[in-house]
Every structure is written in structure tokens, then in C-alpha cells.
Structure 1
Amino acid sequence: MNNVKTIVRSAVVAGFGLAVSALPLAAEIEPVNLRLAHVVNEQDGFHAAATKFKELVGERSDGAISVEIFPNATLGDERTLLEGMQIGTVDMGVITNGPVSNFLEDMAVFELPFLFPSAEKAYEVLDGPIGQELLDRLSEVNLKGLAYAERGFRNLTNSERPVRSPEDIDGLKIRVMENPVYIDTFRELGADAIPMAWTEALTAMQQGTIDGQENPVGVVYSFKLNETQTNMTMTRHSYAPAIFVMGMPVWQKLSPEAQEIVVQAAQDAAEYERALNAEQQSEQLQALRDSGMEIVDDADLSAFSEAVAPVYEKYGAKFGDYLTRIQSALK
């Protein structure tokens, strides 16, 4: 590819109809290597998103922007990664929304229980004005929000018994993310909600010191949680975005041309991961069933929704007008 002419593409990117045109001059971009970290393994959707991002920025910058991926929490848990981004010791990552909201509390509005009726509705909000406004506000905490990938709709697993109603959760020790909305949601459902980092949770499940956890199907599958968790209930109790996020110290060193490539590549990689998750879920569910995991897909979700009403009473006002704006957008 010629470095001195504008890169213009109308080709379809990644098979998802993503047209790219009038990208900046690759010759104007100073070479940079970005260290991108995440806490899950190479079979997870986060890694697929990171790999797609690496491919896209390399291609669109004609190799000027390279990416080194650090999976499996090799650079630390999600909170540690975000703190590293703030001070410039970590460049960027794909980070679950829950830990991000510990830095900008309003981000947690997306994860209020039973807020989004479908993934498509979630995408409309995240990719629209509300979602982009909150991404931009991460600059308040020295972070640069690039795009929303996803963790997905979260479901409950446990090693004790099938769960079909909130009463079945009573007393179960459930790991949740270190996020007040999740903690209060599961306490309202009667669980002993235990916040801890994911790396610690894996050990706790193996040792039997916790009974269960909540995560999307892809996480249950890629981490082989069926080996310690005998039951999964398709509660879909919360939709969890994930964020392509960069430390502001690194972002500010990039040229405007490089910034444009990075933002667009993050969005395209996020959309790639969303589609991949949707494509793989039914296959993963069947594999979990075949392994002997009992999957409850007829739980009384209306009872779950009613049980967590106090969470809305507690947090609704804390998110300013974000909750009412999202509810209005969903009508």
C-alpha cells in the first residue's frame, strides 16, 4: 500500500458491512505500539475483539500502529488495569463495564437489572447519544472511552441447586463484580453477595468457598465453569457492556490521524465481537448441556424483576437523568 496517498476503502470490513472511507494518511502517523490488556482467556469474546482491533489498526495505519495483546490478567485485574491506564503504565484494554463504573459511577446505569429487553435495544442506547456522552465523560477520570464491546446478558450459575425463583437463591454465596449495583441486586434476591475479582472467583469456585457466580454464556463456556457449577439459570438479569478504553496519557500522545483510526477500529471490533457472541451462544449452550450442566430456561423472571425493585428506588436518582433518558429511548 502506498504510504503517501489517502487510504480510501469501500470494501466490506470483517464481513459485517462496515464501510470505511477517507481514512487519514498513513504517512502522517508516527509508529506506536499499544499494549492492550484484558483479564480473560484466548477463547473469550474479549480476546476476539482485541485481536480484531489489532488487525484493523495495523491494516488502516499501514503498520504504523501495532498492538500487543496481554490476556489472562497478566498485567493485573480490571481495576489494576484501569489504574495503570490513568497513570500511563498500561496503554489500553477491553474492560467489563462494572469495574469502569467504580471510576465513573454513572456508567453503572447500563447494568440496572432487567433494564434492556434485548441486545439490539442496548446497542441503540450505547451507540447513540447517551452511550457516547458517557464514553466522553471518562475523560473526567483520565481515561478515554473508545467504544462499547460487550460482556452480554448475565445469567446465574451455582453448584447447589436449580434456581427457578428468587426463593431458590436464598442463602447462596454468589460472587459478583466489585460494583454496588450488582451487590445490591443479589442481596435483594436473597443471596450472600460476595464482591471479588474474577481471578479470585475462579479459585473460590474450585475450592467451594462460594456457591456460584453470574456471567454471560460465553464466559461460562470459555472458562469451563460447568466443571464446578452444575446449574445455570437463564435469568438475563443484566446486560453488561464492555469498554474499549485507553489511558488519557497515551491517547494524548497520538496524532489526530492515529486517534481517528483507533476510535473507528475499536467500534468495528466491538461490533464484530457482538455478532460473534450472538452466533456462538446457541452452540455453547448445547455444549454445556451435553456436559451435564442443568440449564433452566423457564424461570419466573417476573418474580425476579419484582424482587429487585428496591435497586431502582435506591439508584434511580443517583444517575441523574440518565435512567429516565434511557427508559424514554427504549419506548
Structure 2
Amino acid sequence: MKAFTNIRNGGLGLKKFWLSLLVGLIAVVMAACGGDEGSEDGSASASGEKTITLKMADNHPDDYPTVVGDKEFARLVEEKTDGKYKIEVYSGGQLGDEKSVIEQLQVGSIDLSRVNVSPVSEFSDQIGVLGLPYLFEDEDHKWDILNGEIGEELLESLDDAKLVGLAYYDSGARNFYNSKRPVSKPADMKGLKIRVQQSDIFIELVKSLGASPTPMSYDEVYSGIQTGVLDGAENNFPSYYSSNHFEVAKYYTIDQHSNVPEVVLASASLWDKLDEDAKKAFKEAAMESQKVQREAWDKLTADSEKEILAAGNEITEIDDPAEWREAVQPLYDKHGEKYKEYLDKIKK
């Protein structure tokens, strides 16, 4: 009987040991993961509350204008919340590509992000109006729309997708470039083989201008132009320069057919946990950071243009896009009804 009692007591001791170990492991995991609203890093804010650290994703390099804007946004949020919220910016696609990041925002595994509006339009139809060609009269018109009532309504349209739009960032204008000839009017596009994104809007845009749209991976464009598989492509000045496409396609036309902006997003799960003061601080910080981001973009564009001109490339600027708009009217006839409400507002 004594031997049986010793074995029985030993079994209870072993069970207690494993139970204690399991509880300890759970505590460690919970501390590492934090809550749904970010993780507490143990430090205290100016108000004495624990600092909550949030994750923000961006797929661009660390010194790119959008990341410059992200970091200013993070600085302003920390300042405006007296250190209660600290944002860590993960650049270079560390947390995934843009579509993956949007999906992670929807489930709350990422708190904030900067993405382009194009992939966001897959989750919300209305904001897709910003992808239509030759939409804005000029830069002033674009920012009046984006920073005004219409832009705010489009951000609010993301609510149903469990995304909260905070502000827009600049991604410049996309323009055509080619290796064959200067292009100053739509007729000059006829017959050119132009690489486009795998997008119905871009494919139809190039077709309506008389060129031949060729969907292709971006990393194949340089060799495609070099070997004659392509005649050209389309992108903004910094991308035209940084990709070295200017080496094989010397004719660049500033037609500004696409002005799709970037957008700063928060996850709905984070937003629902913020009090009204914090929401105001995040919104203000996003809007104020736009100025720094746009300045960084303008500088990068100017530096790229300077290098392109120094290389002897020919740049043609379109002062009046009326003829180009007329050429793409069939595209508006096909897709315009879907965006009629916002097209009417933008025109007014």
C-alpha cells in the first residue's frame, strides 16, 4: 500500500509540473503576441499608459517616397497620441505584396499599410473610378478631388471591405515611352507594341489609342524592348529611370494617362478599438504626412528627369489632352456607367 501511495503521489507531482510548464508557455506566447490592437512593448507613454506598437506595411524600398511618408505618419501619430501609439514601418515587402497585405489588414493581422489604389479596387468597386484614364485636368485638379469631399467619400467606400482609408499619397502619372519614334498625338501610337499590366482598363486604353497592348511581367520589359518583342511600355518618370528602360526606349511622352494614387489604410479591427481622440490623431497624422510624401515624390521625379535628359532622351509633353480623351471615349462608354456618380462629381 505504501509503494502504491508513493507512485500515486509521484504521478500528481508530475502532473502539476507539466501543468505549470503549460501555463508558463501560454503566458509567454500571449505576451509576445499582444492583443488585437497591437502589442504593448513595456514602455510607458507621456500619460503613463503602456505604449502600443503597431505594424505598418509598405512594399517599396526604405528610402522610397511612400516609405518617407509612412515614417512621417508614424512620427506624427506618436507625437499626437503622447506616445501611446508607436508605429513600426516594415518596408521592402517584408510583410507581403500589396494584395496579401490588404487581406492581412482585413483580418487584422496587420494594423496599417500603404498600398496603391489599383489592388484596393478589387475589394471596393467605387474607388476604381480613380483608375480611369485622363481623369484629371491637371495636378491641382487631382489633389482638389483627392483631398476634398469626393476623395473622402471614396475612402469611406472601403468600410464594407473592413478597410479604413486615411489619406492619399502621390505615385505620379504614368506615361508612354517607346524605342521607335516621338509620340505627340494618338495617331503616333498606331502599331506600337506596348507592355501593359494585366488589367482590362489598361489593355483597352492602349487599344483605343491604336497601339497593340502586350501584357508581360515587368522584369521582362527591358529585354523585350531590347530584342524588339516590345516597342515600349508605360510608367512614371522614377520607374522609367530606375528600371533602366530609358536605355532602350529613348522617346518619353508625358500624356499622364493614369494618375492612380497611393492610399494609407488602417484595419477595421484596429480602428474599432481606437477612441475618438486617437482616431482624430491618426487621420490628422495621415493627412499631414502627405505633404512630406509629395515633396519626396517631386524630388525623386525631378532627379530622374534630370538624369534622363542628360542621357540624351527625348521628352514630349502633351499640354492639351483633349484629343487623347476623345480617343479613349469608347472605354468610358463601356465602363463609365459603373462609375457615373463619381464621374459626374469629378467633372463638376
Larger mean CA deviation between 283-292 and 310-319 belongs to 283-292
Residue aligned with 1:81, SS: helix
Q: TM-score, normalised by structure 1?
A: 0.80
Is the alpha carbon distance of 1:302 and 1:127 closer, same or farther for their aligned partners in structure 2, counting shifts above 3 Å?
Answer: closer
Q: Distance in 2 between matches of 1:252 and 1:210?
A: 49
Pairing 1:5-16 to 2, within 5 Å after superposition? none
2:269 pairs with 1:249: yes
Q: Which residue of 2 aligns with 1:149?
A: 169
2:205 pairs with 1:185: yes
Q: Distance in 1 between matches of 2:247 and 2:96?
A: 25
Q: Which residue of 2 aligns with 1:98?
A: 118
Residue aligned with 1:107, SS: helix
Q: Which residue of 1 aligns with 2:221?
A: 205
Q: How many residues align?
A: 300
Instruction: Give the greater-gyration-radius structure (CA).
Output: 2
Q: Distance in 2 between matches of 1:263 and 1:286?
A: 35
Larger mean CA deviation between 273-282 and 305-314 belongs to 273-282
Pairing 1:306-325 to 2, within 5 Å after superposition? 306-325=326-345
95, 99, 107: which is aligned to 1:75? 95
Is the alpha carbon distance of 1:32 and 1:56 closer, same or farther for their aligned partners in structure 2, counting shifts above 3 Å?
Answer: same
Q: Distance in 2 between matches of 1:29 and 1:317?
A: 51
How big is the shift at 1:310? Answer: 0.9
2:84 pairs with 1:64: yes
Q: Is the 8 A contact 2:124 2:161 kept in 1?
A: yes
Q: Distance in 1 between matches of 2:121 and 2:186?
A: 26
Q: Is the 8 A contact 1:205 1:211 kept in 2?
A: no
Q: Is the 8 A contact 1:152 1:241 kept in 2?
A: yes
How big is the shift at 1:164? Answer: 3.0
Larger mean CA deviation between 304-313 and 281-290 belongs to 281-290
Residue aligned with 2:172, SS: strand
**Structure 2 unaligned regions, length at least 5:** 1-44
Q: TM-score, normalised by structure 2?
A: 0.76
Q: Distance in 2 between matches of 1:175 and 1:251?
A: 39
67, 83, 87: which is aligned to 1:47? 67
Q: Distance in 1 between matches of 2:103 and 2:240?
A: 27
**Structure 1 unaligned regions, length at least 5:** 1-24
If each structure's helix is expressed as a fraction of its own residues, which one has the higher value? 2
Larger mean CA deviation between 73-82 and 261-270 belongs to 73-82
Pairing 1:1-331 to 2, within 5 Å after superposition? 27=47, 31-194=51-214, 200-201=217-218, 203-208=219-224, 211-227=231-247, 229-297=249-317, 301-328=321-348
Q: Which amino acid aligns with 2:298?
A: A
**Structure ranking higher on relative contact order (CA contacts 8 Å, 6+ apart):** 1
How big is the shift at 1:28? Answer: 8.2
Deviations 1:191-239 (A, max 9, x none): 443557xxx41x1224426554323223334554434543321111122
Q: Is the 8 A contact 1:176 1:193 kept in 2?
A: yes
How big is the shift at 1:289? Answer: 1.2
State, as a whole percentage, how many aligned pairs show the same letter. 32
Q: Distance in 2 between matches of 1:49 and 1:225?
A: 26
Q: Is the 8 A contact 2:127 2:157 kept in 1?
A: no
Q: Which amino acid aligns with 2:167?
A: A
